[in-house]
Amino acid sequence: VDPTLDLVAEIQRLRKEKNAVILAHYYQAPEIQDIADFVGDSLDLSRKAAETDADMIVFCGVRFMAEVAKILSPQKKVVLPDLAAGCSLEDSCPPDEFEKFVKAHPDHMVLSYINCSAAVKALTDIIVTSSNAEHIVSSLPADQKVIFAPDRHLGGYLSRKLGRDMLLWQGTCIVHELFSEKELIKLKAKHPNAPVAAHPECPDNIVQHADHVGSTSSILKFASETESDTVIVATEPHIIHQMEKASPEKTFIGAPGADGNCSCNTCPFMALNTMEKLYLCLRDEGPEIELDEETREAAEKPLRKMLELSA
Ligand code: 13P
Ligand code: SF4
């Protein structure tokens, strides 16, 4: 790309010309969040993708999120700036192994966190996100046996909180696993009045120090509503961009990794999307998300069920 090209102006021109909507997750770089038509958590983004009347959805997030957009809006062109933007939770749950696991437990209902492949969704009864998981799990009869995949930390958090014994797939998010409890304790000692807000993808030893646990959108709400002037944020640090916009008078500190700072906790998959790739993907209308129709249809059912249950 010509380095003198005004990427922002070109993106603005192309999105109008092509009737495209740009959706971005809170973990994207600030300049991508700022140019998006809508920034949200996984649940909000899937709702937007299902409702949009745009001809093309440009998804600035990771691949499973863009796949959800395609599953819910199959007639639309869905493009992702970098197709290599995967997710360690998705990688930790290969569909063939998961299928065997599900078949070995025929009396269990299958709940999957939205962070998984379309093929795993196709093996699932109800999809959940961190915004609606608690509500959906508690709506199931107490004696209902449940497989929860792929995030063992979110599954463990829900099991403890709701007093259920769910059978957990042992996947994890490599980003949320990097927070260091020792460094977090030191940081809390330096800021004794600062509450900690944590994503439930964090391991239990981090969640135990949290004053608020929830999805990215709930963490944002907490950050803007708390009376404290400093908040410690235990999730991907690009979310702090929205916190600073909403509450410029407050200080937000990313929870530390073992090196004592938060920069190691950025998501390497989310970081693959750049302004340059966003421009190219609008210009070239690709790389495009393509799913075989059988998988798409089978994956749509548990996603629609989720949207119904979290309406
Ligand atoms: P939410 O935005 O739904 O909280 O999910 C966080 C996440 O890790 C997305 O990959
Ligand atoms: Fe996946 Fe973790 Fe990155 Fe979210 S932060 S996309 S769960 S690797």
AA letter at 187? L
The side-by-side arrangement of strands in the sheet containing 109-113 is 126-128, 109-113, 146-149, 167-168
- Contact between 206 and 234 under an 8 Å Cβ cutoff? The reply is yes
Same domain, 99 and 180: no
Judgement on whether residues 115 and 139 belong to the same structural domain of the protein: yes
**What is the per-residue pLDDT for 263?**
77
Distance of CA 266 to the CA centre of its chain: 13
Structure-token pair, residue 244: 């600073």
For residues 169 and 180, membership in a common domain is answered with no
Full strand arrangement of the beta sheet holding 196-198: 212-213, 196-198, 230-234, 251-254
The residue segments making up the domain with residue 237 are: 176-265
2 Cα to the center of ligand 2, angstroms: 32
SS3 169: coil
Rounded to whole angstroms, the Cα distance separating 112 from 302 reads: 9
267 lines ligand 2 (CB under 6 A): yes
* pLDDT computed for residue 195 by the predictor: 98
Cα–Cα distance, 237 to 232 (Å, whole number)? 10
188 and 261: one domain? yes
pLDDT over 90 at 197, yes or no: yes
- The answer to whether residue 99 scores a pLDDT higher than 90 is yes
Query: Using 50, 70 and 90 to split pLDDT, how confident is the model at 264?
Result: confident
Q: From the CA atom positions of the chain, what is the Rg in Å?
A: 19
Q: What CATH number should be reported for the domain holding residue 249?
A: 3.40.50.10800
Do 250 and 278 reside in the same domain of the chain?
A: no
Q: Does 174 sit in the ligand 2 pocket, CB within 6 Å?
A: yes
The pLDDT of residue 179 is 97
Confidence band of 311 (pLDDT split at 50, 70, 90): confident
Say if residue 168 is in the same domain as residue 206. no
Answer whether residue 153 is part of any domain: yes
Q: What percent of the chain has pLDDT over 90?
A: 98
Kindly state whether residues 123 and 45 are assigned to the same domain: no
**What are the tens digits of pLDDT across the range 203-247?**
999 999 999 999 999 999 999 999 999 999 999 999 999 999 999
User: pTM of whole model > 0.95?
Assistant: yes
Instruction: Specify if 98 maps to a domain.
Output: yes
Would you say residue 109 lies in a domain? yes
Q: How far, in Å, from the CA of 228 to the mean position of ligand 1? A: 24
| Domain assignment of residue 36, yes or no | yes
Identify whether the C-beta of residue 231 lies closer than 8 Å to the C-beta of residue 250.
Answer: yes
**Looking at residues 42-65, what average pLDDT do you find?**
96
Asked if residue 105 and residue 66 are part of one domain, the reply reads no
Total number of domains constituting the chain: 3
Same domain, 97 and 70: no
The answer to whether residues 155 and 183 belong to one domain is: no
Residue 276 binned pLDDT confidence (cut-offs 50, 70, 90): very high
Nearest CA to ligand 1 atom 10: 115
**What is the average pLDDT score of the chain?**
97
Please name the residue whose Cα sits nearest to atom 8 of ligand 2. 87
* Cβ(154) – ligand 2 distance below 6 Å: no
pLDDT of residue 261: 84
Kindly state whether residue 1 falls inside one of the protein's structural domains: no
Do residue 151 and residue 181 come from a single domain? Answer: no
Predicted complex ipTM:
0.97
Strand partners, 168: 148
Domain assignment present for 155 = yes
At 262, the pLDDT band (50, 70, 90 cuts) reads confident
Q: Spell out the residues 6+ positions from residue 272 whose beta carbon is closer than 8 angstroms to its own.
A: 81, 82, 84, 85
Q: Mark whether 101 and 64 lie in a shared domain.
A: no
Q: Mean pLDDT across the stretch 280-291?
A: 98
**Cβ 54 vs Cβ 48: under 8 Å:** no
Whole-angstrom distance, CA of residue 120 vs CA of residue 149 = 9
Give the closest residue (by CA) to ligand 1 atom 4. 215
Q: CB within 8 A of 224, min separation 6: which ones?
A: 243, 246, 247
Report how far ligand 2's centroid is from the alpha carbon of 62 (Å). 8
Q: Best of 63, 216, 242 to mutate for ligand 1, by most ligand atoms within 8 A of CB? A: 216
Q: Is residue 182 part of a domain?
A: yes
Q: Are residues 175 and 236 in contact, defined by beta-carbon separation less than 8 angstroms?
A: yes
Whose structure tokens read 């790389």? 287
Decide if 2 is inside a domain: no
Cα–Cα distances (Å) from 271 to 97, 98, 124, in that order, read: 29, 28, 29
What pLDDT was estimated at residue 189? 98
Gap between the Cα atoms of 36 and 58, Å rounded: 9
